[in-house]
Amino acid sequence: KTVGYIKDYQPDLIISYLRFPGQIALFSKWMAFSSAKILIGERTSLMIPKYDKYYFNLLRFGDVLTVNSLSKKRYIEENFSFLQPKTFFLPNVVDVQQFSFREEPATGQTMKVVYVGRIAREKNVDNLVKAFKKVLSEGHDAVLELYGDTRDESYLNKVKEEIGSENRIQLMGKT
């Protein structure tokens, strides 16, 4: 269906943050169905060498590749240097005007901090836990809830080890 849309509509620009529609757009350009500029937002690579060899070589047909972590950018630069000129780091951002926070919770309230995302090395969740433990050691009344799943059990074990017996840091599981 997507290939037919690209063939029929002939867009000038295709932006994809989803793996499979992005691959279809890249194949369309490779097979000369499309001359569109293609921007791929790389958010889901598993850093599995065999699969990445296929996927990142396919990205040759893209015009711009954005990544949201410096570790992903380094991984691409080290393993797929031909993508370096078209790879850009764009961190996830929060509009602090729309989503503001209080410096301190209201008197008598516990500050609740929530992380939602993959429990993965490139997300540096272990460093978040270390930083939060420092907040707790300074006497702040706070809890940290970590929501997400993982494909890396050894990293999850590292995070659990970092949490230790701290009961104000909770692994909540997949959202």
The string of pLDDT tens digits covering residues 71-92 is 888 888 999 999 999 999 887 6
Q: How many CA atoms lie within 13 A of 114 on its CB side?
A: 8
- Which residue is associated with the tokens 């954005």? 66
% of the chain at pLDDT higher than 70: 85
8 Å CB contact between 58 and 51: no
Greatest Cα-to-Cα distance within the chain, rounded to the nearest angstrom: 64
pLDDT tens digits along 121-159: 878 888 889 998 988 898 888 899 998 888 889 989 999
SS3 142: strand
Answer with the residue of higher pLDDT: 98 or 10. Answer: 10
What is d(CA 144, CA 129) in angstroms, rounded to the nearest whole number? 8
Taking alpha carbons only, the member of 91, 160, 74 closest to residue 119 is 160
pTM for the complete prediction? Answer: 0.53
